[in-house]
Amino acid sequence: MSRLLKIYRNRNYVWPDDVHPPARTAELRPITFDNVSQVERLRNASVAAAFRRFLDSGRFGVFAMVDGIVAGHAWVTPPADDPQVVNTYAKVAAGESLVHYCYVAPEQRGRGLYAQMLHETTAWAREHGATRVTVDTSVDNTASQKGIQRAGFTEVEPTTSVVIGRRLIYRRRGDLPTTPA
Ligand SMILES: CC(C)(COP(=O)(O)OP(=O)(O)OC[C@H]1O[C@@H](n2cnc3c(N)ncnc32)[C@H](O)[C@@H]1OP(=O)(O)O)[C@@H](O)C(=O)NCCC(=O)NCCS
């Protein structure tokens, strides 16, 4: 299991500074040790365990609440003094924060909850000194790409990352190879 090979082909986006927050349609509640277990109803216990590790490492997360129930979540890393690898595949620069681990309940999709959570996590990172806020998504994830663009992020170069086990062994920036016709 520890030698599992994973290839991440991602599209990447950066926060452009001059974007206005979207209209708020859901309560956004910071994720804390007191409320983190509420995600188990939407996801499962292993997601809740991952969230506890995120909290331990100083990340900030939000729940989108609809009718008092957790309907979505998003996380962002605090800006670090040095470049770092996040979630095994992503390289973030000094001063950069990465928005990640976003999810919206299937029955709540298409209503813009994603954009609201992206703005909230981005705002937290900026308030905590991030000079650049980025978000990435798989090249296959059209729904996520549309949501990120709707939130106002600007696309930058795609990346390919190769991870074996939990080790990033290769990362390339630039256009992804196209399949010959
Ligand atoms: C990606 C995701 C977070 C988007 O959340 P959202 O709140 O629905 O985002 P938006 O309302 O901005 O909708 C984004 C796109 O989702 C698609 N969408 C709309 N309704 C949908 C539905 N009922 N079911 C699935 N996708 C839907 C549409 O393509 C929409 O864009 P469009 O309206 O311009 O066509 C959500 O689809 C999700 O949780 N997916 C599974 C986990 C995931 O991919 N997370 C992101 C990893 S980077």
Please tell me the distance from the alpha carbon of residue 89 to that of residue 155, in angstroms, as a whole number: 19
Q: Do residues 159 and 172 touch, judged by C-beta distance below 8 A?
A: yes
Q: What is the pLDDT of residue 137?
A: 97
Residue 1 alpha carbon to ligand 1 centre in Å: 31
Residue 2 has pLDDT above 90, yes or no: no
Residue 127 CB neighbours (<10 A)? 9
Higher pLDDT, 176 or 94: 94
Q: Which ligand 1 atom sits nearest the alpha carbon of residue 114?
A: 7
Nearest CA owner, ligand 1 atom 25: 109
Residue 136 is assigned to a structural domain of this protein: yes
Residue 129 has pLDDT above 60, yes or no: yes
Rg (CA), the chain: 16
Q: What is the pLDDT of residue 112?
A: 96
Question: Does residue 112's CB lie within 6 angstroms of at least one atom of ligand 1?
Answer: yes
Q: What is the pLDDT of residue 178?
A: 59
Q: What is the pLDDT of residue 53?
A: 98
Q: Which domain holds residue 124?
A: 5-173
The total of structural domains in the chain comes to 1
Pocket test residue of 114, 117, 140, 155 for ligand 1, highest count of atoms within 8 A of CB: 114
Residue 149 is assigned to a structural domain of this protein: yes
Q: What is the pLDDT of residue 101?
A: 98
Q: Do residues 78 and 58 touch, judged by C-beta distance below 8 A?
A: yes
Q: Amino acid identity, residue 9?
A: R
Question: Does residue 153's CB lie within 6 angstroms of at least one atom of ligand 1?
Answer: no
Residue 179 is assigned to a structural domain of this protein: no
User: Chain centroid to CA 6: how far?
Assistant: 18
Residue 23 alpha carbon to ligand 1 centre in Å: 17
Question: Does residue 114's CB lie within 6 angstroms of at least one atom of ligand 1?
Answer: yes
Residue 74 is assigned to a structural domain of this protein: yes
Residue 12 is assigned to a structural domain of this protein: yes
133 is written with which tokens?
């806020």
Residue 75 is assigned to a structural domain of this protein: yes
Please state, for a pLDDT cut of 90, what percent of the chain lies above it.
90
Please tell me the distance from the alpha carbon of residue 132 to that of residue 19, in angstroms, as a whole number: 14
Residue 178 is assigned to a structural domain of this protein: no
Q: Do residues 100 and 135 touch, judged by C-beta distance below 8 A?
A: yes
Q: What is the pLDDT of residue 140?
A: 96
Q: What is the pLDDT of residue 17?
A: 84
Question: Does residue 144's CB lie within 6 angstroms of at least one atom of ligand 1?
Answer: yes
Q: Which ligand 1 atom sits nearest the alpha carbon of residue 148?
A: 12
| Band of residue 18 on the pLDDT scale cut at 50, 70, 90 | confident
- Give me the phi and psi of 114, to 5 degrees please: -60, -50
Please tell me the distance from the alpha carbon of residue 48 to that of residue 84, in angstroms, as a whole number: 24
Q: How does pLDDT run across 39-94, given as a tens digit for each residue?
A: 999 999 999 999 999 999 999 999 999 999 999 999 999 999 999 999 999 999 99
- Stretch 121-133: mean pLDDT, rounded? 97
Residue 144 alpha carbon to ligand 1 centre in Å: 5
Q: Do residues 173 and 11 touch, judged by C-beta distance below 8 A?
A: no
- Please state, rounded to an integer, the average pLDDT across all residues of the chain: 94
Please tell me the distance from the alpha carbon of residue 60 to that of residue 50, in angstroms, as a whole number: 13
| Band of residue 174 on the pLDDT scale cut at 50, 70, 90 | confident
Nearest CA owner, ligand 1 atom 20: 110
Q: What is the pLDDT of residue 3?
A: 73
The CATH number covering residue 156 comes to 3.40.630.30
Residue 181 is assigned to a structural domain of this protein: no
Residue 103 alpha carbon to ligand 1 centre in Å: 9
112 is written with which tokens?
């813009």
- Stretch 19-32: mean pLDDT, rounded? 94
